Amino acid sequence: MQGLHLTADLFDCAAARDLLLDRGVLQAACLQRVRAAALTVVGDDFHQFGDVSGQPGGVTGLVLLAESHLAVHTWPELNAVTLDVYVCNFQHDNSSKAQSLIDSLVALFEPARSHRNCLLRGAPQSTDVSDTPPPAMEWLTPNVVHGFTQRHSPATIRTPVQRLAWHDTHALGRLFTLDGAFMASEGDEFIYHECLVHVPALTHGNPTSAFIMGGGDGCTARELLRYPGLGRIVVAELDEAVVTSCREQFALINRGALDDPRVEVRIGDALATLREYEARYDLIVMDLTDPGTDASPANALYSRETYALIRSRLTASGQVTLHIGSAFYHAERFARTLADLRHVFPEVAAYKAFMPAYGCEWGLACAGLQGSPARLSTADVEQGMARHGLHGLRFYSPRVHASLFAWPVYAEVLGA
């Protein structure tokens, strides 16, 4: 059973569409490459899926090898392919053949991006481990991955917008991901949400209205509800499934904030909602997923045009806050976001906090037409917290506030 197991996830494939749609074309291509790799075919089966919502279905194929197997799955609706090659090394070392096969298949589909993994199986010198699921992992950059062990396999929901998964981790408790990116965990979300809300709210001084872009987990709304004077909070969440799932799975964390009478949940595009309704807000909180690949629904939300629209919807003392990634790992995005904000707003301040779920010191920014959180003294923060009755916070405090704006030199040169 000793052997090599190789997998590859292929994205934005440029190969001829027949390879993703036609059972016969894919079958012939796979068999040809298996034989070219000097592996032995003992059987094969390829299944053509029917149309889904008027769109052609993909193909699942299995090639049985004397050495083990090849499995391939095409996803034409995503222009993606998954590959799985396993060879045993019982009498001969077939590792180079397996590598040759998967290399040729990757080249066949011409992906713009690919994620490849390699696993040595059945090594007799390996230590015994309990039968636990693999860790929940996130790629912080194409070269950096971090993750957490979990008690059982995640519960996954495929929504019309994205893939939502709930993980039960040992270190941070319940944690949910969107398209594989860590969003929030019950163990440390308070760090992010307290910083995201109280820095701009205390900078404004007396907010009475707020608009949340995203925020379907309800935690930003929970922190805003601490302010007695905030009579109206609008949550504009693109994905209704996030709201529904977090109402159930995160109820103890968000404390039912999405069902508070001061909170209005609107399902749909946040930018469209801002354009349609010309109401002005004291606070606008961009509680969104990160910008990412070309397919990321959040990409259009991080732009000068978006910031200009937000500016037009803020009151004279209004503040917008958002997260801007890691100055260490996401230097280009970090610098570009701050530069774009400064193109639109006269007051921009960058701040940060270490987030265990994100595996690094995470940057945020606060911007407005007047007032800066970086100029608030410890006494100012103390007085503001007392005026609004902010008790029971777990991270943010007057002393912590000052530390949020102390950046290392490598971040200062990026605009922090």
Q: Among all residues, which ones are annotated catalytic?
A: 287
Nearest Cα to Cα of residue 23 among 59, 49, 50: 59
Distance CA 335, CA 325 (A): 10
Q: What angle do CA 297, 302, 307 make, to 5 degrees?
A: 130
In terms of DSSP H, where are the helices of 167-239?
189-204, 219-224
Cβ within 8 Å of residue 145, ≥6 positions away? 137, 138, 139
DSSP annotation of 153: P
Cβ within 8 Å of residue 308, ≥6 positions away? 344
Ordered strands of the 181-185 beta sheet: 155-158, 163-169, 173-178, 181-185
Element (H, E) at 68: strand 68-75
**Backbone φ and ψ of 14, nearest 5°:** -100, 0
- Dig out the tokens for 189 from the structure: 């979300």
Helix (H, G, I), strand (E, B) or coil at 249: helix
**Backbone φ and ψ of 30, nearest 5°:** -70, -45
Per-residue burial over 204-225, b if 16 or more Cβ lie within 10 Å, else e, is bbebebbbbbbbbbbbbbbbbb
Q: Which residue's entry shows tokens 């001084």?
A: 205
Nearest Cα to Cα of residue 289 among 270, 313, 267, 272: 270
Single-letter code of the amino acid located at 11 = F
Per-residue burial over 373-399, b if 16 or more Cβ lie within 10 Å, else e, is bbebeeebbeebbeebebeeeeebbbe
